[in-house]
Amino acid sequence: DSGVTQTPKHLITATGQRVTLRCSPRSGDLSVYWYQQSLDQGLQFLIQYYNGEERAKGNILERFSAQQFPDLHSELNLSSLELGDSALYFCASSISGGDGYTFGSGTRLTVV
Amino acid sequence: QQPVQSPQAVILREGEDAVINCSSSKALYSVHWYRQKHGEAPVFLMILLKGGEQKGHDKISASFNEKKQQSSLYLTASQLSYSGTYFCGTAQSYGNNRLAFGKGNQVVVIP
């Protein structure tokens, strides 16, 4: 157990639907990052939160949004889902910029 | 900007050595290395910071050439457990510590 908890582990949903992925960071970590991993693109940065505030945005689609709550857990919302959104979604947390990330076990999203 | 990792794949026998590389066209603050086994999450191995500081795994060594913006990970006396995909992640500044990851080096260690 890495200390970063992601739920659910697997999600199968239909095109056009909306899903919410949840992440609880490791105790003491203030930064949360979301990454999308697909076979051909590797790990693509989506968004970062630090202590409740959005810190950086990557190539996140407008159909996707995220937030970090006062207890530091984070949610990634994916809407109007398309087949191409099928991927592994990882959450990671860190203490600060000079430390490594701790990844959660990921949520495998399959859009059918 | 996504760093470039080479070689794409390496096959080596247990006990052999290998070097895998990560290059960036941008000036870097830090380079991270992670190993991911099939179906699992990436696991942190090491971070190399501008100025020479390193933090991480006792049994794996790495270097960071600031002039070339290149990092190398040295797999010495490889073990079967070293198999997996190695990702480097790069950050351009301390305040902007979101990582851009390369596409990975696949390493297979055979008996």
Tens digits of residue pLDDT in A71-106: 999 999 999 999 999 999 999 999 876 688 999 999
- Closest-approach residue (CA) in chain A for B45: A100
**Paired tokens of B97:** 């510590």
> pLDDT confidence of A59, banded at 50, 70, 90?
confident
At A97 the pLDDT is 60
pLDDT in tens, B74-85: 999 999 999 999
**Which of the pair, B51 or B2, is modelled with greater confidence?**
B2
At B12 the pLDDT is 96
Give the minimum alpha-carbon distance from A100 to chain B in angstroms, rounded to a whole number.
6
Query: Is residue A54 predicted with pLDDT exceeding 80?
Result: yes
Lowest-pLDDT choice from A103-112, B68-77, B95-104: B95-104
Is residue A44 within 8 A of residue A37, CB to CB? The reply is yes
Q: How many CB pairs under 8 A join A and B?
A: 70
Judge whether A39 is closer than 8 Å to chain B, CB to CB: no
Show which residues on chain B lie within 8 Å of chain A, measured between beta carbons: 2, 29-30, 32, 34, 40-44, 46-47, 49, 55-56, 87, 89, 91, 93-104
When pLDDT is averaged across residues B41-62 and rounded to a whole number, the result is: 85
The amino acid present at A69, given as its one-letter code, is F
Q: Give CA torsion, residues A9, A1, A102, A86, to 10 deg.
A: -10
The widest CA-to-CA distance across chain A, in whole angstroms, is 40
**Paired tokens of A89:** 């979604």
Residue of B98, B99, B101, B105 to mutate for A, most A C-beta atoms under 10 A: B98
Q: What percent of chain A has pLDDT over 90?
A: 83
Mean pLDDT of all residues belonging to chain B: 91
Q: Which bin fits A24, alpha (ψ -120 to 50), beta or left (φ > 0)?
A: beta
At A98 the pLDDT is 66
